[in-house]
A = this chain, B = another copy of it.
Amino acid sequence: MCRWLAYSGSPVRIEDLLYRPQHSLIDQSLHSKLGAETTNGDGFGIGWYGIGDTPGIYRSIEPAWNDRNVHDLAAHIETPVLFAHIRAAIGSAVQETNCHPFRYGRWLFMHNGFIGDFHKVKRDLVLAVDPSLYPCVEGSSDTEVFFFLALTFGLEDDPPAAVEASVGFIEAVGAKHNVEHPIQMTVATTDGNRVWAFRYSSERDSRSLFYSTDVATVRALHPEIEILRELSDESRLIVSEPLRDLPGVWNEVPEASYGVVQEGQDELQPFTPRPPLRQGQLRPRPQALL
């Protein structure tokens, strides 16, 4: 079980998001309240957008609370979009290539949850990854395979459809291998402009996920919080568990739904897994799907 945070909005110093708040993500790495595990000490990662064509990522297998480098980086980097993730490994090795967020081109992807009985279904899932993407898989985690499935199924063109196709496919493969609950997930992905966040599980009992109330409202409710004065009204946080204990600030993402944080009106939509083949939404890669 893991914890993650996605931020989109006015450029802020990373430490203001990771270290400053009460019950910050770094605190949660030691003392999660809502996680399936209280300790998330099996790796850490951040992704951010600044100079350069792709987002920067920093990933480490040290527990986040110990890592002096990330503390220093957080104090010296500002970004309009931040992904941060702390890992509690379930089975796969603790190594940087298994740390979230994963990156492909301008895209980041991170996940709290798991693919059920991954050792049973891994081979079938990996075979469905587009052969041109296959060599980019570097680690051994379920999430990286999930990400490359989503890329195979069109993540760069239509993220909700691609994630629905991936989850539909994972559930179909799981069913074939008699996996009781093929997937458990909250997932976030971004291209640096928009952020998509998904909450879903095959058993319809998904990990917690919250989004922040709009900044204008929070500012009115909590005028004492200084950082809010500097944030644009568009700024938004999505988190595995609330960062501060602030009435009126956190809203649960409903079961089986996803949200889009974007310029203009944000959206909240139902999430429905769809087996990819029936939907015809795939770029044709028959050899990959047999």
Note all chain B residues with C-beta closer than 8 A to A57.
Answer: 72
Note all chain B residues with C-beta closer than 8 A to A97.
Answer: 93, 95, 140
Checking B119, B135, B138 against A93 with a beta-carbon cut-off of 8 angstroms, the contacting residue is B138
Is A231 interfacial (CB-CB < 8 Å)? Answer: no
CB-based nearest B residue for A121:
B135
Note all chain B residues with C-beta closer than 8 A to A138.
Answer: 92-93, 140
Is A284 interfacial (CB-CB < 8 Å)? Answer: no
Note all chain B residues with C-beta closer than 8 A to A75.
Answer: 52, 56
- CB pair B51 A73 closer than 8 Å: no
Note all chain B residues with C-beta closer than 8 A to A265.
Answer: none
Is A134 interfacial (CB-CB < 8 Å)? Answer: yes
CB proximity to B under 8 Å, residues A140-165: 140
Is A248 interfacial (CB-CB < 8 Å)? Answer: no
- CB pair A66 B94 closer than 8 Å: yes
Note all chain B residues with C-beta closer than 8 A to A38.
Answer: 31, 38-39
Is A77 interfacial (CB-CB < 8 Å)? Answer: yes
List chain A positions with a Cβ less than 8 A from chain B: 13, 30-31, 38-39, 41-42, 48, 50-52, 56-63, 65-66, 68-69, 72-73, 75-78, 89, 92-97, 119-120, 122-123, 126-127, 131, 134-135, 137-140
Give 4 A-B pairs besides A68-B96, A126-B126 with Cβ atoms closer than 8 angstroms: A52-B75, A62-B62, A68-B93, A69-B96
